[in-house]
Structure 1
Amino acid sequence: MSKTKEVQTTDKIGKIGVGAWIALIALIILFSGVMTELPKPWNAFDLNNLIGKFGTIGDAGIFQGKGGTGAREGFLFTLTLIPTVMLAVGIIEVVEEMGAMKAAAKLFNPILRPLLGIPGIVGIAFVASFTSSDIASFMTKQHYEAGDITDDERTIFVAYQYAGSAVILNTIGTQAPLLPIVLLPLGTLIVFLWVFKILGANLMRLIIKQKNRRAAAKAA
């Protein structure tokens, strides 16, 4: 968990054009899920709607089928993720060329630094993590390999993402059968889960800080 990479700071970003801010706003809307339930054509500004869904094959559902097990089931499940990742990566590459990541660093740094101790450049991944753990984890990997975040910051961010991953999508989707027996309203439940994600990430942040302090004292 040592800080082995030189990272970028908002001081080195430079001037950000209007196009970069427009691209950032569009990306936040696309990844946030706020347009999911809107009528056409506005719901086209939602990533999950753009990804679409597979057609059905008889009673088996999609090509993945039902009742699969082991490596073969895992392989077919992986194939279902490819369209999501491919589309997201393509969109990210386009908006990155327009300067959206630099704009994200400037916008999110005052929020994410005190909240999680991570730089604002991962702001898009932070937004994406509310609806897609796959895209958020891929973007986190890219940021680390590009030297945007340190190993410690990556660890803290992964701790945030892993607990209650894709909190909005999974709460509404995969956990929908449990919602009728939950005493809290849906919005309150999501906020409740998000707060504990923040607490978990800061617990990891504290552990890393203590570990680094002990390592520095031992080296002195």
Structure 2
Amino acid sequence: MSDTQISEDKPAVEAEEWKVGKGAYIALVAVILMFSGAFLKVGGMPWLGAFDFTTLGGAFGTMKNSGTDTFIGSGGLSAKAGFLFALSLVPTVMLALGLLEIFTHYGAIRAAHKLLTPLLKPILGIPGHTGLALITDLQSTDAGAALSKELFDSKRITRKDVVIMGAWQYSGAGLINNYFTIGSAMFASLTIPVIVPLLLMFVMKFVGAVFVRFVLSTVYKRDFDNE
């Protein structure tokens, strides 16, 4: 096959790769609902929690004679403590990657690319298929980071995209999960609706990422000239 024929076939192959059908949109909606926390606590329908990522991830049990300590224990130091902490992240990350691989197979990435690019490209300068990593980060920083790495390793995003995504993800990392667990201790003291601080933090994630995008496009512009 000639070089001319190869170049003619390439756009057709790429178009087929990003073709989006009804199943892809269903997969996208399913993954968003699972990772966004929408099913975490639904009044009158607690059974929906069975489809939530945090619920599926579960929790380690406590040691028999040590109160609230898990198998990580308390008072650990240095490399050994770090190893046990990293080990505790493995089940959640493996579960997230397994689920995302299934949804990707059914076209969730393609649907996210088509639907979210008009939103994410003008605001953050990143393609729409990064949306799943950002959505996943709302509940699990580890799973969001793992998916971001997978996108980078497969060359679907650039180094600049990764930095912008990192700025979005780790500004209020694991937002929904942490807000309704750790932050719930302050709910009784709030003089405004509980949802307001959550929305404010969500908006500020975009503000921080836009600022980082601006810095990368000005001060550090030369670092990405070859991309």
TM-score normalised by structure 1 residue count? 0.85
CA distance in 2, matches of 1:179, 1:37: 16
What does residue 199 of structure 1 align with? Answer: 207
Question: Residues 42 and 209 (structure 1 numbering): CA distance in 2 closer, same or farther, change over 3 Å?
Answer: same
- Tell me the distance in 2 between the aligned counterparts of 1:215 and 1:48: 38
Check whether the contact 1:131–1:166 (CA below 8 A) recurs between aligned residues: yes
1:25 has 2:25 as partner: no
Gaps of 5+ in 1: 1-9
- Of stretches 200-209 and 173-182 in structure 1, the one that deviates more from structure 2 is 173-182
- Aligned in 2, Cα 1:133/1:216: closer, same or farther, shift over 3 Å? closer
Of all paired residues, the percent bearing the same amino acid is 36
Q: 1:11 to 1:64 in 2, by over 3 A?
A: same
Is structure 2 residue 166 aligned with structure 1 residue 158?
yes
Cα distance change, pair 99–180 in 1 and its aligned pair in 2 (3 A):
same
User: With CA pairs under 8 Å and 6+ residues apart, which has the higher RCO, 1 or 2?
Assistant: 1
Residue of structure 2 equivalent to 1:4: none
Q: Tell me if 1:45 matches 2:51.
A: yes
Q: How does 1:22-171 map to 2 (within 5 A)?
A: 22-38=26-42, 39-58=45-64, 59-171=67-179
Distance 1:216 1:25 in 2: 34
Distance 1:21 1:62, change over 3 A: same
SS at match of 1:76: helix
* Offset of residue 56 of structure 1: 2.3
Q: 1:72 to 1:184 in 2, by over 3 A?
A: farther
- How far the C-alpha of 1:189 sits from its partner, in A, is 0.6
Q: What is residue 174 of structure 1 aligned with on the other side? A: 182
| Gap runs ≥5 in structure 2 | 1-13
Match of 1:161, as an amino acid? Q
CA distance in 2 between counterparts of 1:72 and 1:188 reads: 41
Over residues 49-99 of structure 1, what are the superposed CA-to-partner deviations in whole Å (9 max), with x where a residue is unaligned?
Answer: 111122222224321223333322222221221110111111111121112
Would you say the 8 A contact 2:160–2:224 is kept in 1?
no
Cα pair 1:60 1:66 within 8 Å, conserved: no
Counterparts in 2 of 1:212 and 1:13: CA distance versus 1, 3 Å:
farther
In structure 1, C-alpha distance between the alignment counterparts of 2:147 and 2:134, rounded to whole Å = 9
Q: Distance in 1 between matches of 2:219 and 2:158?
A: 15
Q: Secondary structure at the match of 1:61?
A: coil
Find the aligned partners of 2:79 and 2:186 in 1 and give their Cα distance. 29
RMSD over aligned Cα, in angstroms? 2.3
The 2-side partners of 1:64 and 1:79 are apart by 9
For the pair shown, the structure with the greater C-alpha radius of gyration is 2
Secondary structure of 1:206 counterpart: helix
Distance 1:14 1:162, change over 3 A: closer
TM-score with structure 2 setting the length: 0.82
How many residue pairs get aligned? The number is 208
Match in the other structure for 2:9: none
